Amino acid sequence: MAMKRSTLDLWVGVFVAAGLAALMFLAFKVGSMGAFDVASSYTIKADFENVGGLKVRAPVKSAGVVVGRVSDIHFNPETYEAEVMLNIDDRFKFPKDSSVAIMTSGLLGEQYVALEAGGDDKMLVPGESLKITQSAVVLENLIGQFLYNKGDGGGESDKAAK
């Protein structure tokens, strides 16, 4: 009550400004709103046998540079494969025989889609699907394979092979 009316109004203004600044910070820096989505893009499709831990909004990288984002992942009940929609920036065109693979950045990092350009003269058109895909590496399968090979290479290789 001791505060003058004008001082009080000033503090209210400071409070509201701080609140709006916090919201802006959350929206742009943390939420990455408008980081990539504003640029016009086209969608291509890729079928994977296994997408592993790939998530929607994961980056699509070509030569290590982000050129797009995963916009949708769903299961196709007819082919029993995962259909992944890739939103690629309009500035980048890729040949028809480009290949995609699901890779991991770092040992425990996020998974991303690596898009490798092919040598075809014709370019991909929006909505087209990529033919050459490489699934995510599943660690359990890798370990299983390693153990199997290890057992195979041992003394009882004849029994194991049969």
Partner 1 sequence: MMALNPIARVIAPRFWGAVISMPMLAAMFSAMGVFGGYLVGVVLLGVDEGAFWSQMQAAVDFRDDIVNGIIKSAVFGVAITLIALFEGYDAPPTAEGVSRATTRTVVTSSLAILALDFVLTSFMFRGVG
Measured from the CB atom, is 10 or 147 closer to partner 1? 10
Find the shortest distance in angstroms from Cβ 16 to partner 1: 7
d(CA 67, CA 88): 6
Measured from the CB atom, is 31 or 151 closer to partner 1? 31
d(CA 148, CA 72): 36
Which string of b and e fits 23-38 if b means at least 16 CB within 10 Å? Answer: eeeeeeeeeeeeebee
Find the shortest distance in angstroms from Cβ 103 to partner 1: 15
Residue 63: alpha-carbon gap to chain centroid: 15
Listed residue (45, 119, 55, 139) closest to 88, CA to CA = 45
Find the shortest distance in angstroms from Cβ 63 to partner 1: 17
Measured from the CB atom, is 3 or 18 closer to partner 1? 18
Find the shortest distance in angstroms from Cβ 13 to partner 1: 12
* Positions that interact with partner 1 (CB under 8 A): 15-16, 18-23, 25-27, 29-33, 35, 55, 57-58, 110
Paired with 47 in beta bridges are: 83
Measured from the CB atom, is 98 or 111 closer to partner 1? 111
